[in-house]
């Protein structure tokens, strides 16, 4: 049985991997903007939902955990929005376009 070396078999695969790594670097601000802005929109909604559930449950067992998770999500809103805005600015500064 013949063993193949990585230099003989994989030049196309190496080119593909290089393209994915180097092409993906220019889109990290777009991905960061999507994650930051979407997280900044959904984190307060989930935080309010968890906090409301904790208040409705009362002092039972899961209420402190729900209240803590709700507070963390509410506090994470501002940093997520800041990161999303920063990433969107970086994407546009690199020549990326959003919309038509």
Residue 78's Cα: distance from chain center in Å?
15
Least confident of 8-17, 48-57, 69-78, 87-96: 8-17
- Highest mean pLDDT among 7-11, 17-21, 45-49 belongs to 45-49
Mean pLDDT of the chain: 81
Banded model confidence at residue 100, pLDDT cuts 50, 70, 90: low
User: What is the per-residue pLDDT across 30-67, written as a single tens digit (0 to 9) for each?
Assistant: 889 999 999 999 999 999 999 998 888 887 777 888 88
Average pLDDT, integer, range 63-84: 93
How many other C-beta atoms lie within 10 A of the C-beta of residue 25?
Answer: 9
- Give Cβ neighbours of residue 39 (< 8 Å, ≥ 6 apart): 76, 80, 84
CA distance 100 to 81: 23
Tokens found for residue 95? 């020549």
Q: Read off the DSSP letter of residue 22.
A: H
Give the pLDDT of residue 63: 82
Tokens 């501002």 found at: 78
């Amino acid at each position: 049985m013949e063993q193949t070396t990585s230099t003989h078999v994989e030049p196309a695969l190496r080119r593909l991997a290089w393209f994915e790594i180097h092409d993906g670097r220019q889109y990290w601000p777009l991905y960061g903007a999507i994650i930051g802005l979407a997280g900044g929109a959904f984190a307060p909604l989930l935080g309010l939902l968890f906090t409301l559930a904790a208040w409705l449950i009362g002092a039972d067992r899961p209420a402190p955990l729900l209240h803590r998770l709700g507070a963390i999500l509410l506090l994470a809103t501002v940093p997520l929005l800041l990161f999303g805005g920063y990433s969107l600015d970086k994407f546009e500064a690199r020549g990326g376009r959003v919309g038509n």
